[in-house]
Chain A
Amino acid sequence: MATGIRDKVAIIGMGCSHFGERWNDGPEQLMVEAFTECLQDAGIEKTDIQAAWFGSCFDEVGVGKSALPVSLALRLPNISVTRVENYCASGTEAFRGAVYAVASGAYDIALAIGVEKLKDIGYGGLPEFSTAMGTLNQLWMANFTAPGGFAMLATSYAAKYGLDMNEVKRAMAHVSVKSHANGALNPKAHLRKPVTEEQVLNAPQIAYPLGLFDCCGVSDGSACAIVTTPEIAKSLGKKDIITVKALQLSLSNGTEFAYDWDGDHFVTTSKASAEAYKEAGIKNPREEISMMEVHDCFSITELVTMEDLHISERGKAPKDIMDGFYDLDGKVPCQVDGGLKCFGHPIGASGLRMLYEMYLQLLGRAGDRQVKDPKYGLTHNLGGFPFLNVCSIAIIGKQDV
């Protein structure tokens, strides 16, 4: 019987590039930046790495297809490198590949790296994705974008709980204000200016009811991790060993889109988080999760996700948010590094960037935004749209928690 991934794999090094509009750097440069930090942190040689997993989403506008770009950029010693793409979960998928490879005993030391170079397309927002939907879907699917896809969730969530849209918008605004405050404390974040609730509410509308500040940054960046077994980590002299507690993935199968769903929650997140808590041995996430990095591509996504992570009760996320429950000084700080909102969202790197922050926090290296004595850090990605998506959850913590 499967025993899950808990404590089978340790993270011995992580790196993350500065996120932002990296006009002067290509994806190769970003990967080298993250990898250099990661390798130094791990204290090993490049030749110690036996296999790598690479996450990147928009091959059309970024590095191109296959895993060759990472092998070339890092000049990896002709080792196995696997390309993974699963929308916004691509970075976490790379991590999952490397972690499972080590857990299986196939390799001792593996690398997971993600990168996305979004600011080479000449316009704001994510790259246009009509051709990425497949030859049939592009002939009929609605003319939609990422903000529009998620904006719809606010209308159905408000309808489900009988909320006035202004009420939902205020809670959404608090989500963004909190992330901007956290991002301001993070030297590697893309957006580092605090904003007020008023600014958020008065921003130009992108997709009803989302305004500009309800949408995350579109950034260039790379992040990576080197993983091994706890035993090897110890033999390498690592003291505070950070281990993987849970790794879960859940995908829509079309029921939301085509069968029965109220548009009030994420079916996949609800399932993946429950499985992740089970895998990690967490009974009461509201009490036990110390901090989170969730997929706040849009403020409404974060709001609803709080309920699907089983931390806020159904319909109660707006209240918890307004109570400061998820603020940096709240019970479960969320987006402690600024989140996608302010740290930025280079898709293929995002999952690994979230893990990077949890890793820094667990090791007490998070500087001004350090959370006091964290035990478990949860990361969450949601690729796609509320009605059709890929959700990944990772939980990491100290080995002896």
Chain B
Amino acid sequence: MAGITSFGGYIPRYRLSRMVIVQNMAWYFPVIMAVAGGEKAVANWDEDSVSMAVSAAYDCMVGHDRKELDALYFASTTMPFVDRLNAGIVASALNMRENGVSNADFASCMKAGTTAMISALDSVKAGTRKNVLVAASDQRRTKMATMFEMFYGDGAAAVLIGNKDVVADYLGSYSINCDFVDHYRGQAKEFDYGYEERWVRDIGYGKVIPEAISGFLAQSGLKIGDFAKVIYPCYFGGTHKAIAAKLGIEKGKVQNNLHAICGDTGTAHPLVMLVAALEEANPGDRLLVAGFGQGCDVLAFEVTEKIRDMKPRTGIKGSLAKRVELTNYQKFTKFRNLITADLGIRGEANPNTSLTVLWRNRKMLLGLVGVRCKKCGTPQFPVYPTCVNPRCWGVNDFEDYEFSDKEAKILMFTGDMLSPSVDPPAVYGLVAFEGGGRTMLDFTDCDLNQIKVGMKTRMSFRRRQVDSMRGFTGYFWKAVPQVEGGGE
């Protein structure tokens, strides 16, 4: 039976208390005080929808062979490229097969994530695909002192769709598609343009979601009481409750919208909430998940015994627990490029990305794939045609070797104030991988004062450069020091 065979999540570690926004911006737009409670997840300056999707995808693929994926669907409204398959970047980061796979971007709508899931489930049901990874992610920039700034958080989630060792059987779906435009972002516009909240609440979320769920129930013959958790996004607290009341969902069976601890992660949110629900689910639980946006998708699942066999992962719960407060509002606005701060002349360097070089080295640059010498077994990165082991020096006798999922130890490091960085000092160092191989990498998600030689690191796929002149976004891997106890 088709269903979810694995799931994972990624919420960036910074949290911005809404009170910090209020303290800084309520002078300009006092209405934001009405939603001053809780905090939202904020992507680090080197993260975007693609990098967070990669993190969620890796989390989802724990215990699964990435080589067995035959499709990757990426859903987001904040993709870095309008013409270049963004899912292809995620796929390269996962070191997926290139031949015999079919990847796609699902975009332009808050429910693109659930729509991608339906497509994946349909193709697995039809038998045309076996393992489809669906990753949804959003990192929406907002104008300062807006309700969007208060509501939106950053995050990603991923589900693996297949028909072997299914942890949540797919019970079916139902969709409404209508051109209800509560907000939109026109071509080349930086920010969302939204309409009056009262209308969005009453005619949008409050009406469309119940209609879609009722539609599914009518179609499937199931009752709302059959579900252990009903999962639907809606960052208006009152409306979120009102929908439950309207549908007759019992208290405790409504999945938390994560407004208080994460914020609404856009296209990712139905999946983020679903993954959070799956993390707490027991075999036999039925889950109903809805995605809202120009209509509504509703999908139903039933959790199986296999969920108990899943390998431990960070997930939504784990990444929400890895929390560091961002107390500096200016830092947040700089991370989102909402203010102009001088990087200095040294920071002006903007070399063109050679597409031929990127193509030749795509495994290395996007997948952190090095080689292992077949003669002496030494893993190495970067790759030169001659083995680095001075007792070997074998030539061109290598096999691919992935470093992306390997832990490493810090050999040497620094925090550099001279190097141009949005978040100085630029921290980097030489790390040695468990099992062999070493290289120098930028560090991220860390505090220089906590780093020590010998500390463990994990790899994280990050945005490396944004070439605003040419519109190109480049990515590479960074090391994240693993501070005992979670950090800062």
- Give the B-binding residues of A (Cβ under 8 A): 121-125, 128, 130-131, 135-136, 138-145, 147-149, 151-153, 155-156, 158-159, 204-210, 253-255, 257-259, 261-263, 386-387
Q: Which residue of B lies closest to A149 (CB)?
A: B414
Contact with A along B280-315 (1 / 0, CB 8 A): 000000000000000000000000000000000000
Which of B29-37, B57-65, B66-74, B438-446 lines the interface with chain A?
Answer: B438-446
Q: How many Å from the CB of B21 to the closest CB on chain A?
A: 29
Contact with A along B426-447 (1 / 0, CB 8 A): 1011100000011111100000
Q: How many Å from the CB of A217 to the closest CB on chain B?
A: 15
List 16 extra interface pairs beyond A253-B388, A259-B380, CB under 8 A.
Answer: A125-B346, A131-B349, A136-B382, A138-B351, A139-B353, A143-B442, A145-B416, A147-B416, A155-B413, A155-B429, A156-B412, A159-B412, A207-B415, A257-B439, A258-B388, A387-B430
Q: Which residue of B lies closest to A263 (CB)?
A: B412
Q: What is the bound-complex CA distance between A124 and B474, given in angstroms?
A: 27
Residues from chain B with Cβ under 8 Å of A145 in the complex: 416, 418-419
Residues from chain B with Cβ under 8 Å of A206 in the complex: 416-418
Residues from chain A with Cβ under 8 Å of B413 in the complex: 152, 155
Contact at A123–B351, with CB atoms within 8 Å?
A: no
Q: Which of A131, A144, A148, A210 has the most CB of B within 10 A?
A: A148
For the complex, is B454 an interface residue (Cβ under 8 Å from A)?
Answer: yes
For the complex, is B220 an interface residue (Cβ under 8 Å from A)?
Answer: no
**Subset of 5 A-B contacts with CB under 8 Å:** A128-B348, A155-B453, A257-B430, A259-B390, A386-B412
Contact among B364, B378, B442, B476 with A259 in the assembled complex (CB-CB below 8 Å):
B378
Q: What is the bound-complex CA distance between A121 and B438, given in angstroms?
A: 34
Q: How many Å from the CB of B44 to the closest CB on chain A?
A: 14
For the complex, is B357 an interface residue (Cβ under 8 Å from A)?
Answer: yes
Residues from chain A with Cβ under 8 Å of B365 in the complex: 139-140
User: From DSSP, what is the main secondary structure of chain B's interface residues?
Assistant: mixed
Interface residues of B in 358-384 (CB under 8 A from A): 358, 361, 364-365, 378, 380-382, 384
Q: What is the bound-complex CA distance between A121 and B448, given in angstroms?
A: 30
Residues from chain B with Cβ under 8 Å of A140 in the complex: 364-365, 382, 464, 476
Please judge, given known A-B contacts A207-B416, A208-B415, whether A143 and B349 are in contact too, CB under 8 Å: no
Q: What is the bound-complex CA distance between A254 and B454, given in angstroms?
A: 21
Please judge, given known A-B contacts A122-B345, A139-B358, A147-B418, whether A152 and B378 are in contact too, CB under 8 Å: no
Q: What is the bound-complex CA distance between A12 and B416, given in angstroms?
A: 44
Q: Which of A121, A142, A209 has the most CB of B within 10 A?
A: A142
Contact among B346, B353, B378 with A123 in the assembled complex (CB-CB below 8 Å):
B346
Q: How many Å from the CB of B19 to the closest CB on chain A?
A: 32
User: From DSSP, what is the main secondary structure of chain A's interface residues?
Assistant: loop
Residues from chain A with Cβ under 8 Å of B414 in the complex: 148-149, 151-152, 155, 207-210
Contact at B357–A139, with CB atoms within 8 Å?
A: yes
Q: What is the bound-complex CA distance between A151 and B390, given in angstroms?
A: 27
Residues from chain A with Cβ under 8 Å of B357 in the complex: 135-136, 139
For the complex, is B354 an interface residue (Cβ under 8 Å from A)?
Answer: yes
Contact at B351–A130, with CB atoms within 8 Å?
A: yes
Q: Which residue of B lies closest to A387 (CB)?
A: B430
Residues from chain A with Cβ under 8 Å of B186 in the complex: none
Residues from chain A with Cβ under 8 Å of B346 in the complex: 123, 125, 128
Residues from chain A with Cβ under 8 Å of B442 in the complex: 142-143
Contact at A128–B474, with CB atoms within 8 Å?
A: no
Q: How many Å from the CB of B94 to the closest CB on chain A?
A: 18
Q: How many Å from the CB of B428 to the closest CB on chain A?
A: 4
Q: What is the bound-complex CA distance between A20 and B375, given in angstroms?
A: 52
Q: How many Å from the CB of A52 to the closest CB on chain B?
A: 33
Q: How many Å from the CB of B302 to the closest CB on chain A?
A: 45
Q: How many Å from the CB of A388 to the closest CB on chain B?
A: 9
For the complex, is B252 an interface residue (Cβ under 8 Å from A)?
Answer: no
For the complex, is B420 an interface residue (Cβ under 8 Å from A)?
Answer: yes
Q: What is the bound-complex CA distance between A386 and B412, given in angstroms?
A: 11
Q: Which of B346, B388, B430, B476 has the most CB of A within 10 A?
A: B430
Q: How many Å from the CB of B481 to the closest CB on chain A?
A: 13
Please judge, given known A-B contacts A139-B353, A155-B412, whether A257 and B438 are in contact too, CB under 8 Å: yes
The 7 closest A-B pairs by CB, nearest first: A148-B416, A156-B412, A159-B453, A152-B412, A142-B428, A151-B414, A207-B416
For the complex, is B330 an interface residue (Cβ under 8 Å from A)?
Answer: no
Q: How many Å from the CB of B373 to the closest CB on chain A?
A: 11
Contact at A130–B349, with CB atoms within 8 Å?
A: yes
Contact at A263–B411, with CB atoms within 8 Å?
A: yes
Residues from chain A with Cβ under 8 Å of B100 in the complex: none
Residues from chain B with Cβ under 8 Å of A130 in the complex: 349, 351
Q: What is the bound-complex CA distance between A135 and B356, given in angstroms?
A: 10
Contact at B388–A142, with CB atoms within 8 Å?
A: no
For the complex, is B425 an interface residue (Cβ under 8 Å from A)?
Answer: yes
Q: Which residue of B lies closest to A122 (CB)?
A: B345
Q: What is the bound-complex CA distance between A386 and B429, given in angstroms?
A: 12
Contact at B425–A208, with CB atoms within 8 Å?
A: yes
Q: Which residue of B lies closest to A121 (CB)?
A: B345
Q: How many Å from the CB of B448 to the closest CB on chain A?
A: 6
Residues from chain A with Cβ under 8 Å of B485 in the complex: none
Q: What is the bound-complex CA distance between A100 and B428, given in angstroms?
A: 40
Q: What is the bound-complex CA distance between A262 and B417, given in angstroms?
A: 25
Please judge, given known A-B contacts A140-B476, A258-B381, A258-B439, whether A207 and B358 are in contact too, CB under 8 Å: no
Q: How many Å from the CB of A119 to the closest CB on chain B?
A: 13
For the complex, is B421 an interface residue (Cβ under 8 Å from A)?
Answer: yes
Q: What is the bound-complex CA distance between A207 and B421, given in angstroms?
A: 13
Contact at A136–B361, with CB atoms within 8 Å?
A: yes
Contact at B388–A207, with CB atoms within 8 Å?
A: no
Q: How many Å from the CB of B467 to the closest CB on chain A?
A: 11
Contact at A207–B344, with CB atoms within 8 Å?
A: no
Residues from chain A with Cβ under 8 Å of B361 in the complex: 136, 139
For the complex, is B389 an interface residue (Cβ under 8 Å from A)?
Answer: yes
Contact among A139, A144, A259 with B440 in the assembled complex (CB-CB below 8 Å):
A144
